[in-house]
Amino acid sequence: MANQPAPSFVQATRAVAVGSLLGLILLGLAWELWLAPTGSRFLAFKVLPLVIPLAGLLKHRLYTYRWVSLLVWLYFTEGIVRATGLPGGVALGVGEWLAWGQVLLCSALFTACALHVRWRLKHKATEASA
């Protein structure tokens, strides 16, 4: 299967995973530096762990998809805490919208990674038995 093109499902999950990861990186930088700065630009460094797996996702490394699906829960938790814990009235402020965007991107990244790993392992097992 190494010489065969990846099925469309694998390509789609890869595209969603890479897109979500890039979205999280850009959102994290924009949030802390321009859109709703917290006063500490140092918090922009929180996106550095997200840059590390980018090469692995682009190279189709199954192990990277596995551990990214665990790493993303840290950012999901941060998004939930910021979305529900920031002071504000009934209307959502910029920070809350950004936090819910982070939660959405994390959910998409986790789902894409989980489906990608599941599909590849399933078809690896069927190829081995054939």
- Cβ-Cβ contacts under 8 Å for 72 (sequence gap 6 or more): 24, 106, 109, 110, 113
**∠ CA 20-21-27, rounded to 5°:** 85
Task: Give me the residue spans of the domains in the chain.
Answer: 8-129
Over the stretch 26-44, which tens digit does the pLDDT of each residue have? Answer: 999 988 888 876 777 777 8
Over the stretch 76-125, which tens digit does the pLDDT of each residue have? Answer: 999 999 888 856 555 567 888 899 999 999 999 999 999 999 998 887 76
CB half-sphere exposure, 127, CA atoms < 13 A: 9
Rounded-to-integer distance, Cα 87 and Cα 53, Å? 33
Rounded-to-integer distance, Cα 82 and Cα 59, Å? 33
pTM, full prediction: 0.84
